[in-house]
């Protein structure tokens, strides 16, 4: 019985690690895409100044 419980705990820990890794990779991917989009914006300095003045 202990072996089954230990195996179950190990599987749950492995699942948590996998979900965390997927989440981290997805977050990095989103950050890269946002950075690419930001770099492509024409007149971004003016836009940033206007946003800073508005806030």
* DSSP assignment of 1-55: -HHHHHHHHHHHHHHHHHHHHHHHHHHHHHHHHHHHHHHH-TTHHHHHHHHHHH-
How many domains does the chain divide into? 1
Is pLDDT at 11 greater than 90 in this prediction? yes
Share of the chain above pLDDT 90, in %: 42
Average pLDDT in the 20-48 region?
86
pLDDT band at 36 (very low <50, low <70, confident <90, very high): confident
Q: Which residue segment(s) compose the domain that 50 sits in?
A: 2-54
Is pLDDT at 50 greater than 80 in this prediction? yes
Is pLDDT at 29 greater than 90 in this prediction? yes
């Amino acid at each position: 019985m202990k072996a089954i419980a230990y195996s179950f705990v190990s599987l749950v820990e492995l699942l948590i690690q996998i979900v965390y890794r997927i989440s981290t990779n997805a977050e990095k991917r989103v950050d890269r895409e946002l950075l690419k989009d930001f770099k492509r914006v024409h007149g971004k300095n003016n836009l940033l100044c206007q946003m800073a003045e508005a806030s």
